[in-house]
């Protein structure tokens, strides 16, 4: 009987770091600086360095990172933001929560927004393009930035799944005007709870976001904006500093899993592998293959004790909540076809060689049965 291959293993990941994490938490408790404390500042500095950006600001989630980035640019009621329809729902929710309208543009074979389709979607109301580096594969930022520059609109990239990835040698987080990250437990650099980061080189934006994340308070007694509370917890920042010390290993572990899959599945002609262009060096968040008989393969793997996932089975424009947006079946043929064909196979840090072999062998057995 095959041993189960889980889809993720958070317990395993934390077993090794537990002592170090508990020590970091104890440090915060001893200092008592629970709100915007020393560890938040330290983590912001270290994160900016990792991303090759001038500034990083800690916030409470990836979703709030996106919301604050847009609010810092004054994006709101009546404005339009261009984004792909195949992301996690958070990218689009952030646009709506700001009061703006999402304008979807279909994706390419790399599953990222198709830069050639962006220009026709731009109207006088367009304020920003929000590409998503889906699964860790960087979007075509050179072309996206060029279109944005030409039309004098901003690029806010959703980097939630792409920490550590590089494009043209530059780290994700240094590619757009404002870059937004999630530190959710399932992301590649993960808190023990929620967290998010924003990186940018624009000092004005930084000042604005620091106000917006903290109820618009300039100092304890002076409020200059109506805003909520989106602060990153000091305890999470302390934990994240521990994780960051090990991140290089996490990232290279994920990269070698991807390399293994790319090689091992290259000969299975029914499997379409992730499309990565020459300029990109992804740290995969999800390793997504595409096959015609996805559900049958998924079930076959499950029968053999291998858990897989789908990111994401329903494109955002076809969600019940999106009915008002005026899109429907057929609006984005590429994203819709991919939603039927995609399958995410386990790629977590800590996956063993034996487990990877089991996965790739089972996939090829499925097609030889
Ligand atoms: C996870 C994720 C988000 C939201 O991040 P949270 O920290 O869960 O709020 C947004 N966009 C993408 C692409 C994501 O994967």
Residue 1: its pLDDT value, please? 41
pTM assigned to the model? 0.97
261, 345 in Cβ contact below 8 A?
yes
Residue 19: its pLDDT value, please? 97
Degrees to nearest 5, angle at CA 353 with 352 and 358: 100
Q: Is 61 in the pocket of ligand 1 (CB under 6 A)?
A: yes
Domain CATH number, residue 40:
3.40.640.10
Q: Is 160 in the pocket of ligand 1 (CB under 6 A)?
A: yes
3-class DSSP assignment, residue 23: helix
Does a structural domain hold residue 5? Answer: no
Q: Is 336 in the pocket of ligand 1 (CB under 6 A)?
A: no
Q: Residue 21 and residue 245: Cα distance in Å, rounded?
A: 11
Does a structural domain hold residue 171? Answer: yes
Which residue has tokens 């984004």?
A: 83
Q: Residue 234 and residue 21: Cα distance in Å, rounded?
A: 13
Indicate if 211 and 319 belong to the same structural domain.
Answer: no
For a substitution probing ligand 1, which of 8, 63, 133 has the most ligand atoms within 8 Å of its CB?
63
Q: Report phi then psi at 200, rounded to 5.
A: -165, 160
Indicate if 32 and 128 belong to the same structural domain.
Answer: yes
Which residue has tokens 């937004």?
A: 180
Q: Whose CA is nearest to atom 2 of ligand 1?
A: 160
Q: Residue 144 and residue 269: Cα distance in Å, rounded?
A: 32
Q: Whose CA is nearest to atom 5 of ligand 1?
A: 62
Does a structural domain hold residue 4? Answer: no
Which residues share a beta bridge with 341? none
Q: Residue 69 and residue 61: Cα distance in Å, rounded?
A: 12
Indicate if 129 and 31 belong to the same structural domain.
Answer: yes
Give every strand in the sheet of 196-200, ordered side by side: 55-59, 196-200, 178-182, 154-158, 126-129, 80-83, 101-104
Per-residue pLDDT of the chain (369 residues; tens, 9 = 90+): 455 789 899 988 899 999 999 999 999 999 999 999 999 999 999 999 999 999 999 999 999 999 999 999 999 999 999 999 999 999 999 999 999 999 999 999 999 999 999 999 999 999 999 999 999 999 999 999 999 999 999 999 999 999 999 999 999 999 999 999 999 999 999 999 999 999 999 999 999 999 999 999 999 999 999 999 999 999 999 999 999 999 999 999 999 999 999 999 999 999 999 999 999 999 999 999 999 999 999 999 999 999 999 999 999 999 999 999 999 999 999 999 999 999 999 999 889 999 999 999 999 999 998
Indicate if 306 and 167 belong to the same structural domain.
Answer: no
For a substitution probing ligand 1, which of 61, 86, 90, 91 has the most ligand atoms within 8 Å of its CB?
90
35: left (phi over 0), alpha (psi -120 to 50) or beta: beta
User: Domain limits at 307?
Assistant: 247-367
CA 155 to chain centre: 15
The DSSP 8-state label assigned to residue 84 in this structure reads -
Indicate if 235 and 320 belong to the same structural domain.
Answer: no
Instruction: State how many domains the chain has.
Output: 2
Burial status of residue 310 (CB atoms within 10 A of its CB: 0-12, 13-18, 19 or more): middle
308, 344 in Cβ contact below 8 A?
yes
Among 194, 216, 244, identify where a domain stops.
Answer: 244
Q: Which residues contact 192 (CB under 8 A, 6 or more apart)?
A: 14, 21, 185, 236, 239
Residue 3: its pLDDT value, please? 56
Degrees to nearest 5, angle at CA 247 with 244 and 252: 170
Nearest alpha-carbon partner for 40 in 203, 202, 244, 247:
244
Among 221, 244, 267, identify where a domain stops.
Answer: 244
Does a structural domain hold residue 2? Answer: no
The tokens for 198 are 């924003």
For a substitution probing ligand 1, which of 68, 92, 131, 161 has the most ligand atoms within 8 Å of its CB?
161
Indicate if 251 and 322 belong to the same structural domain.
Answer: yes
Q: Which residues contact 257 (CB under 8 A, 6 or more apart)?
A: 284, 287, 347, 351, 356
Does a structural domain hold residue 302? Answer: yes
Q: Which residues contact 359 (CB under 8 A, 6 or more apart)?
A: 5, 261, 301, 306, 345, 346
Does a structural domain hold residue 83? Answer: yes
Residue 349: its pLDDT value, please? 85
Among 225, 244, 263, identify where a domain stops.
Answer: 244
Residue 20: its pLDDT value, please? 97
């Amino acid at each position: 009987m095959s041993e189960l291959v889980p889809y993720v293993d958070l317990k395993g990941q934390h077993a090794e770091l537990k002592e170090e994490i508990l020590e970091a938490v104890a440090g915060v408790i001893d200092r008592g600086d629970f709100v915007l404390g020393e560890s938040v500042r330290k983590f912001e500095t270290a994160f900016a360095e990792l991303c090759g950006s001038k500034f990083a600001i800690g916030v409470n989630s990836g979703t709030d990172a996106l919301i604050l980035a847009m609010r810092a640019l004054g994006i709101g009621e009546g404005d339009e933001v261009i984004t792909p329809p195949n992301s996690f729902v958070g990218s689009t929710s952030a646009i709506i929560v700001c009061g703006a309208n999402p304008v979807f543009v279909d994706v390419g074979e790399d599953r990222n927004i198709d830069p050639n389709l962006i220009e026709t979607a731009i109207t006088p109301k367009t304020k920003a393009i929000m590409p998503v580096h889906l699964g860790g594969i960087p979007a075509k930022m050179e072309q996206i930035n060029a279109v944005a520059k030409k039309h004098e609109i901003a690029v806010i990239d959703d980097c939630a799944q792409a920490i550590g990835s590089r494009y043209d040698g530059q780290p994700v987080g240094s590619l757009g005007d404002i870059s937004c990250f999630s530190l959710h437990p399932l992301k590649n650099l993960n808190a023990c709870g929620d967290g998010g980061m924003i990186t940018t080189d624009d000092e004005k934006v930084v000042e604005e976001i620091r106000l917006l994340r903290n109820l618009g308070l300039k100092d304890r007694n002076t409020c200059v904006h109506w805003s909520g509370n989106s602060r990153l917890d000091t305890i999470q920042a302390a934990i994240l500093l521990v994780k960051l010390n090990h991140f290089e290993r996490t990232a290279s572990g994920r990269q070698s899993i991807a390399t293994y899959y790319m090689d091992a599945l290259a000969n299975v002609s029914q499997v379409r592998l992730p499309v990565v262009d020459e300029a990109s060096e992804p740290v995969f968040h999800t390793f997504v293959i595409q096959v015609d008989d996805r559900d049958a393969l998924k079930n076959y793997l499950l029968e053999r004790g291998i858990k897989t996932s789908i990111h994401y089975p329903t494109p955002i424009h076809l969600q019940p909540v999106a009915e008002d947006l005026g899109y429907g079946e057929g609006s984005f043929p590429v994203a819709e076809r991919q939603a039927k064909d995609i399958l995410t196979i386990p790629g977590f840090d800590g996956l063993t060689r034996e487990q990877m072999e089991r996965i790739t062998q089972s996939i090829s057995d499925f097609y030889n049965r």
